[in-house]
């Protein structure tokens, strides 16, 4: 079977740990080109991953007729222009989240891809990272009855692990935790509930001196009555000698609950625990999860299959999904400020 040929535009932190190895590991994908403003970074990645061609001007990558699709992993402020250029060049796209800086920009991006007849997916990889697919299957099977509450909590030290410069970018022009990370949870609220946001109430606090709050709690109600809690914070153990993270996702229904807990800790001899727990009338169990936290390879594989079939497959999040999550995240940020 002929592989779908990809190029990746933007080769910084997220591309380095996610997009590039993900595309290389996806059997249906051939990664043939990379583009980034940093020529030295391109040279390192070309040698590390054996990618054929590199470009410091992404327009040269887009001009190639033998590239079917692009992964877009540039900073948020550049998403719109790169995506619009990809649409003009006739390339299908997998774009990093958040979609855009504003709803108007996001609408323009979705329309451009629709008008060009191209497939537009968003890298909401949590939908397809274990154990989220299993949680969705259990929910859809009726294991916990009617869904009433979704709880998504993501507290950690933020992007500081990649350096203070990157952290400052994420908490300023990246719009902070409730947008940068929170869009994942706003998407999962829609995905698990099968509904749209009807009400959003959000409050934020400033632990450090940045223009966007670094801890936000949003309580939401969906059109079908499901309650959604979305809590995101980046000041969790940020200034202590050791660091921890608490990621906790719960689906609470009339007949039980499904819970995923990811507890991370850098204290010596502290165990990193990732566990799925299910309480239902049919069964109750708890088991460890060993899978990677983010399945980039699945995202690239699914887009490759989608391109062959002519439509997005397997709940691959679309540009429109991304736009809906962005609307919710920006409203939460507006209130939290």
Quick: pLDDT tens for 160-201.
888 888 999 999 999 999 999 999 999 999 999 999 999 999
Domain that residue 313 falls in: 4-125+295-317
Share of the chain above pLDDT 70, in %: 100
Residue 1 predicted with pLDDT over 80: no
- Mean pLDDT across the stretch 124-146? 97
Q: At what angle do helices 319-336 and 103-115 cross, to 10 degrees?
A: 180
Q: Which residue has the higher pLDDT, 94 or 163?
A: 94
Is 272 in the same domain as 308?
no
Is 105 in the same domain as 150?
no
How do strand 227-233 and strand 147-155 relate by DSSP bridges?
Answer: parallel
pLDDT of the residue at 74 = 98
10, 37 Cβ separation under 8 angstroms: no
Is 95 in the same domain as 191?
no
pLDDT of the residue at 190 = 98
Is 280 in the same domain as 187?
yes
**For the domain that residue 88 is a member of, what is the CATH number?**
3.40.50.720
Report the 10 Å Cβ neighbour count for 209: 6
CA distances (Å), origin 51, targets 7, 72, 191, 294, 295: 10, 16, 35, 22, 21
pLDDT one-digit tens code per residue, 238-253:
999 999 999 999 999 9
Is 151 in the same domain as 82?
no
Residue with tokens 């902070």: 176
**For the domain that residue 134 is a member of, what is the CATH number?**
3.30.360.10
213, 337 Cβ separation under 8 angstroms: yes
Residue 333 lies in a domain: no
Residue 321 DSSP SS3: helix
Q: Considering the entire predicted model, what is its pTM?
A: 0.96
Is 175 in the same domain as 74?
no
pLDDT of the residue at 314 = 81
pLDDT one-digit tens code per residue, 65-86:
999 999 999 999 999 999 999 9
With bands split at pLDDT 50, 70 and 90, how would you rate the model's confidence at 133? very high
Share of the chain above pLDDT 90, in %: 95
């Amino acid at each position: 079977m002929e592989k779908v040929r990809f190029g990746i535009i933007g080769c910084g932190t997220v591309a380095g740990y996610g997009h590039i190895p993900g595309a290389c590991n996806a059997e249906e994908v051939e990664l043939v080109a990379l583009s980034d403003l940093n020529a030295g970074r391109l040279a390192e990645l070309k040698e590390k991953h054996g990618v054929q061609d590199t470009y410091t001007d992404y327009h040269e990558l887009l001009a190639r007729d033998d590239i079917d699709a692009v992964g877009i992993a540039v900073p948020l402020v550049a998403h719109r222009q790169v995506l619009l250029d990809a649409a003009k060049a006739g390339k299908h796209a997998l774009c990093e989240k958040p979609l855009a800086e504003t709803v108007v920009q996001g609408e323009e991006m979705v329309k451009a891809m629709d008008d060009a007849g191209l497939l537009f997916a968003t890298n909401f990889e949590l939908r397809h990272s274990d154990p989220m697919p299993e949680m969705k299957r259990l929910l859809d099977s009726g294991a916990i009855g009617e869904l009433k509450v979704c709880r998504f909590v993501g507290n950690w030290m933020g992007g500081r692990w990649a350096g203070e410069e990157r952290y400052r970018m994420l908490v300023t022009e990246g719009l902070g935790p409730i947008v940068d990370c929170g869009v994942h949870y706003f998407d999962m609220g829609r995905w698990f509930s099968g509904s749209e946001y009807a009400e959003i109430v959000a409050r934020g606090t400033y632990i450090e001196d940045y223009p966007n709050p670094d801890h936000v709690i949003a309580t939401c109600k969906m059109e079908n009555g499901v309650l959604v809690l979305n809590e995101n914070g980046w000041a969790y153990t940020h200034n202590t000698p050791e660091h921890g993270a608490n990621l906790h996702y719960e689906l609470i229904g009339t007949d039980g609950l499904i819970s995923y807990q990811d507890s991370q800790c850098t204290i010596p001899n502290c165990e990193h625990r990732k566990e799925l727990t299910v309480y239902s009338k049919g069964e109750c169990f708890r088991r460890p999860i060993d899978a990677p936290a983010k399945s980039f390879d699945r995202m690239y594989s699914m887009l490759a299959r989608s391109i062959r079939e002519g439509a997005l497959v397997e709940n691959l999040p679309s540009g429109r999904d991304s736009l809906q999550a962005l609307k919710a995240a920006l409203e939460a940020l507006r209130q939290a400020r």
